[in-house]
Structure 1
Amino acid sequence: MSAPENGLIAKTRSVEELIQSDRVDVSLYYDPELYEVELEKIFYRTWVWVGHESEIRNAGDFRTTSIARRPVIVVRDKKGGINVLENRCRHRGATVCEKHKGNATGFTCPYHSWSYALDGKLRALPYPDGYEDILDKSELPLNSLKVGTYAGMIFASFNPDVEPLEDFLGGAKHWMDLFMKQGAGYPIKVQGEHKFKFGGNWKIQLENTTDGYHFPIVHKSFMSSVDEETEEMLSFMHDEKAVTHALGNGHSVMVMVPEHVDLDHDDGTEQLQERFAHVTEELSKTMEPAQVRRIVRSLHGAGFNLNLFPNVAMSMSFFRVLNPLSVTETEIRHVALGMDGGPEIANRERMRVHEHFQGPFGFGTTDDAEAWERVQRGSYGGPQLPILVNRGLNREVVAENGDKVSHATDEGGMREAYAMWKRMMSQ
């Protein structure tokens, strides 16, 4: 569908009416016309995260994913370049790859066998005698998206005129660099992932990542399952150093463990957790004490959640990726991270930490998903009941670098995301 003009959205409501400084209209969760405009003006116009470089190390390595409805292939070509190709044959539109990941020399449509190279060029088609003088193969490559990378993160955009990726990331780049320090000197790699769906609008999950207010309530069962040291580490409700930064362009970061924001900084006073004693003992056989501390202190990941608008969170020790399937259904990928080339015992422990909270049978995934679905069900209560995002407005300050800063339990991250939503939907 074509987008309404002059900032007018569904049923002639303006963006100004839908998004205010302290609240948003509840129709953002369920209006199908509004959802269609979101796809066109946000997901198909800006930078969207599609993968991590560790997933496509070698020539021919690929993974498939989707940007909203549009399926894409993320692939490394023979020259080492990264391509993001629309997974749609130029002949009759069939997908040319259905595997989740693998290695290939090219992609061939199963319908009429049109064959494409790793850079998307049309290589061959069967029975070409019906195409003399009416088809030029060079004019029919797979649609290629604009690609950008930063800190190993791969982003793509359908918009050829999209702003430079580094400009879009802006103040988030500093936090992305800090996040990658959890590799303890090793590059970060993807260890595995799982996917699930929840019955709710994508923005409900977008709000969640830098919402510290819900953590001790929704994740009470998780907190009761961990050791005393982990519980103390994650008890940030009354820590004045636990803050949220609105970073611009819809991005935000919530600091939960201030002493782990920069994992390169270690004053030596932090006692290593007893639960990781077996890791410390094993690593100490072959590593210097400083490197052992560096790795063990990193097993929980970074001390913050970073939200990158519109679809990926770099959340302590994992990536959380959202993809809207419909106005009321969203797919979530939880991607576990490890140290590329790091000690196996530490990577196994990182996986156990991931499974405990965000794994398929972990505490965090199930509790969050139930809360999200309850928000969706409650949203049908009526337009006179807006969604409030006003917590912390009375104590929000502007830092020297321009970040809006408030406590980790405040809703500054949500306000930042909706400010970007409002800006993009008004264009």
Structure 2
Amino acid sequence: MTTTPRVVDTYPDLAEADRVAGQLYTDPAIFDEEMEKIFYSTWVWVAHESEIPEAGSFKTTYVGRQPVIVTRDRKGGFNTLLNRCRHRGATVCDQSNGKANGFTCPYHNWSYALDGKLRGIPYPEGYEGVVEKEDFPLQRLRTESYAGMIWATFNQDAEPLEDFLGDAKIWIDRFFKQTNGYPTKVTGIHKFRFRGNWKIQLENTTDGYHFPMVHKSWMASIDAETAEMMSFMNDPAAVTHDLGNGHSVAVMAPANADLDIDDGAPLQPRFDDLVAELEASGEYTPEQIRRFVRSMHGSGFNLNTFPNVSFSLAFFRVLIPISVDETEIWHMSLGMDGGPECVNQERLRIHEHFQGPFGFGSPDDAEGWERVQLGAAGAPRMPILVNRGLNRETPSAEGWPTSHVTDETGMRGAYAMWKKMMSHD
């Protein structure tokens, strides 16, 4: 991996406190440096534990543009392996997920264990005194997890994951309260690409300002109670916090920000049939049923963790940079592992209505992102403004820079981290 040297501009010039150059979306040399200085240098989210539930389970994904395999080995440990044979460089796994005893390169059948160790070489006579198997494992990334979420990094000297997450851990813990004491499981994944830079999507997750304009069609399609819950434009309790290290959280439904706190509001009538089904089963207390329904829409906030995964209401949103002007998005719906399946099914229907392949939300968002890319290409030195709410940003009780949920506090925090990492030699 090599970096294309920059000969003009400095990153402080391109990313100021209240604006960034459109060039950040369009310059291939900047994109190449982002891969080196961000995606190959810090913690990048790769999996949820439920995706690799037992020994031998694996999934394939990317860290930046590098293909990787995330495995659970026979001791229950998690491994992130570069998907590249040590012989001639072919990928050793072409499935998105599954279960295996190990991985064998299809080209010359070098075989590897779940932890990446080289197990076998066909016709080994030609390698006697030339190759020692212990010297040629699959490249391993440093891998750590928090709250069932697995991150990996090429940087063996990176700070501990929990230090990198910092105060985002508070909100991660709150996010997982929506599975009501049951383990969380991924119940489906919708993948698509848009023609735009990865940072455009990074900005979007804590951009409450766009919501009532871009998502008019979704707002018109939902019941009055859900519409009221998402009517945060004039709610002073709806805020965005800059949590440090590029992480931020946009609290859109304050009453659901901590699901352990019940404000006693009536349950939505749209779930009356579900409540009746749960009551008829005789398996759950009234308190449990109320909690299931209160958590149906998720956590009430969007948590952005820099650089590539957000915990958004009731799903994960993962971004994978493909090129300077193309990004892949994974929307991952969530449910309870062991909880009532009728609740999981209703959660999935809600997810599909907004984020699914035929939903109202994703196409509208992607259209906006692509238009930003097109416009930025037209005048790459003209600034992109991230100054909304700068005049009303104040520290919270925790010391987090805070302003209204429609303000661009989260974007400013992300670009401050971007500038710090990109300016590092």
TM-score, normalised to structure 2, is 0.98
Deviations 1:305-361 (A, max 9, x none): 000000001000000000000000000000000011010100000000000000000
Counterpart position of 2:238: 242
Match runs of 1:182-261 below 5 Å:
182-261=178-257
* 1:167 alignment partner, SS class: helix
Q: Does 1:374 align with 2:371?
A: yes
* 2:7 alignment partner, SS class: helix
* 1:16 alignment partner, SS class: helix
Distance in 1 between the 2:12 and 2:300 partners? Answer: 36
Shift of 1:278: 1.2
Shift of 1:121: 0.3
Residue 150 of structure 1 aligns with an amino acid whose one-letter code is Y
For the Cα contact (< 8 Å) 2:23–2:381, is it kept in 1? no
Distance in 2 between the 1:350 and 1:384 partners? Answer: 43
Residue 131 of structure 2 aligns with an amino acid whose one-letter code is L
Distance in 2 between the 1:78 and 1:362 partners? Answer: 39
Distance in 1 between the 2:356 and 2:30 partners? Answer: 32
Counterpart position of 1:35: 31
Counterpart position of 1:278: 273
For the Cα contact (< 8 Å) 2:250–2:302, is it kept in 1? yes
Q: Does 1:292 align with 2:325?
A: no
Counterpart position of 2:344: 347
Distance in 2 between the 1:10 and 1:116 partners? Answer: 39
Match runs of 1:321-360 below 5 Å:
321-360=318-357
**How many residues in Structure 1 have an aligned counterpart in Structure 2?**
422
Match runs of 1:175-186 below 5 Å:
175-186=171-182
Match for residue 68 of structure 1 among 31, 49, 64: 64
* 1:38 alignment partner, SS class: helix
Counterpart position of 1:391: 388
Deviations 1:114-169 (A, max 9, x none): 00000100000100000111111001000000001001100000110011000000
Distance in 2 between the 1:11 and 1:220 partners? Answer: 44
- Following TM superposition, the consecutive aligned residue runs of length 4 or more in structure 1 with deviations greater than 6 angstroms are none
Where structure 2 has 5 or more consecutive residues not aligned to the other structure, the ranges are: none
Deviations 1:226-282 (A, max 9, x none): 000100010000000000000000000000110101111113x21111111111111
Deviations 1:54-95 (A, max 9, x none): 011100000000112110001000000000111000000000
Q: Does 1:266 align with 2:262?
A: yes
Counterpart position of 1:50: 46
* 2:248 alignment partner, SS class: strand
* 1:12 alignment partner, SS class: coil
TM-score, normalised to structure 1, is 0.98
Deviations 1:179-211 (A, max 9, x none): 000001111110010100000000000000000
Distance in 2 between the 1:401 and 1:304 partners? Answer: 18
Shift of 1:384: 4.5
Distance in 2 between the 1:14 and 1:114 partners? Answer: 45
For the Cα contact (< 8 Å) 2:26–2:380, is it kept in 1? no
RMSD: 0.9
* 1:72 alignment partner, SS class: strand
Identity %: 64
Residue 359 of structure 2 aligns with an amino acid whose one-letter code is G
Distance in 2 between the 1:275 and 1:184 partners? Answer: 20
Where structure 1 has 5 or more consecutive residues not aligned to the other structure, the ranges are: none
